[in-house]
Amino acid sequence: MDTNDQSESIILYAPEASAKIVSAQRQRTEAKWTFWLLTAGISTTFGAAIPTGYNIGVINAPANYIKEWCNETIFETYGTVLTEGELDTFWAVVVSIFLIGGVIGSLGGAWLADKLGRKQSYLACGFLLVIGGVCFQFCRAVGSVELLLLGRVLVGLAAGLTTSTVPMYLTELAPIELRGALGVFCSMGVTGGVVVGQILSLEEIFGTEELWQFALSFYVLLVITFFVPYHWLPESPKYLYVIKQRRDEAINEIKRLGGKNVKDEYIRQQIESMRSEDVPNSVSDDEETQQTKSKQRSLWSVLTDPTLALPLILVCALQGGQQLSGINAVFFYSVSIFESVGLSSTGAKFANLGAGCLNLFVAFFTPMLMEKFNRRFLALLSCSMCGVFLFALTFIVYFIEKLAPDIEHIATHCNTMFPVLQNGFID
């Protein structure tokens, strides 16, 4: 017998561990929140997910101050005076380059998670976030708009990696019964981070002409603080067992995650769950290698598989529709939208904060709604309502000057409800 399987065989095939049927109630009692499970969830949420949302929400309120600084810095560095249209275009680049980094990070997340491991991928997210924060903090001191752009690219990369690798890491750490609860930590953290960024970017805190760079970089304190326990965090047992074939280490991590009083039955269940995604242990080494290779499918084979056509269409329609619906424009330009309907600068920023808080409030109820209602119904309801509010928002903003002042508040309601429905239910 392979030495890598010895500890596994002790658990799976020990004479005293006779096979027996375990009731559903007993399985539920085995799944419990343990110290390392909670530590991993809190560390990743505050160390990566909240900073990701923070960088979405923080750029909105101090936009005018940052644009003025960019215009002055470009003139001092290159001797070029930007027109109002050119400055708006440059600011659009500063805003949207975050999303370009996010796309790249998302596409490379799965590869990085398999190459470095789930835990080290999380470390990569933290590293990119810290370097991006350093760029934000010192871009004004050295008078460099390039550092501002670089910081936005880096935090965008970190955001893409976070949303693709952190949920994977958490769901693979959790037992089957807790995967849904732990998996929602990341999306809740992103939503909460948007609100934190909106709060700290208010003029009463860091959203001023002198302090906006502190608003952009403040999240670094969260990253550094909640990466303190990183060294002791467990690696994903599934990554160790299925991808690296280091089964002894995988079993040790399962024991750590299960707590001090973990039972052999619990360990056996987790191993069988991972084994179902690996090749059967009854085949020979050559057959096992052959079956492992057969499971490694190319992207083209997935795209051309008729059995996967409907799931692919649904995933692309929901995720692509979400990103192309204008949600990012509402998040990044909501203050300008509120100002265009007659609110003062201060009032627009607080309206933006109110929309973020309402978004977070609704997001808290999504796990309960998913348990009570059909998920297809919730997705269709959310998409249809988003379409209604988005159409109304576009129509009203376009004809804002021709509308009577007493109708302008409709745009405020649409601008508030659209991100609530979009992120509260679809996410």
Q: What is the pLDDT of residues 347-372, one digit of tens each?
A: 888 888 888 888 888 778 777 777 67
> To which residue do tokens 């934000």 refer?
136
Element (H, E) at 63: helix 63-78
30 neighbors 265 (Cβ within 8 angstroms): yes
Separation between Cα atoms, residue 271 and residue 174, nearest integer Å: 13
136 neighbors 94 (Cβ within 8 angstroms): no
Taking the mean position of all CA atoms in its chain, how far away is CA 188? 9
Separation between Cα atoms, residue 151 and residue 135, nearest integer Å: 5
Separation between Cα atoms, residue 180 and residue 381, nearest integer Å: 22
Question: According to the model, what pLDDT value does residue 181 have?
Answer: 79
Other CB atoms within 10 A of residue 140 CB: 19
411 neighbors 337 (Cβ within 8 angstroms): yes
Which of 320, 319, 328, 350 lies closest to 412, judged by CA?
350
Please give the average per-residue pLDDT across 162-168, as a whole number.
Answer: 94
Q: What percent of the chain has pLDDT over 70?
A: 80
> To which residue do tokens 């309402």 refer?
358
Statement: residue 338 has pLDDT above 90: no
Separation between Cα atoms, residue 323 and residue 31, nearest integer Å: 35
Separation between Cα atoms, residue 354 and residue 318, nearest integer Å: 26
Other CB atoms within 10 A of residue 78 CB: 10
Alpha helical stretches, state H, 174-242: 179-200, 212-217, 220-226, 237-238
CA distances from 172 to 31, 95, 114, 250 (A): 14, 33, 13, 11
DSSP label at 15? T
Other CB atoms within 10 A of residue 253 CB: 22
Choose the weakest-confidence range: 63-72, 200-209, 300-309: 300-309
Label residue 78 by pLDDT band (50, 70, 90). very high
By CB atoms closer than 10 A (0-12, 13-18, 19+), residue 247 is buried
The pTM of this model reads 0.80
Choose the weakest-confidence range: 60-74, 207-221, 254-268, 390-404: 390-404
Please give the average per-residue pLDDT across 308-336, as a whole number.
Answer: 78
Separation between Cα atoms, residue 334 and residue 64, nearest integer Å: 13
Question: According to the model, what pLDDT value does residue 5 have?
Answer: 47
Question: According to the model, what pLDDT value does residue 381 have?
Answer: 84
Q: At what angle do helices 327-340 and 375-398 cross, to 10 degrees?
A: 40
Reduced to 3 states (helix: H, G, I; strand: E, B; else coil), residue 260 is coil
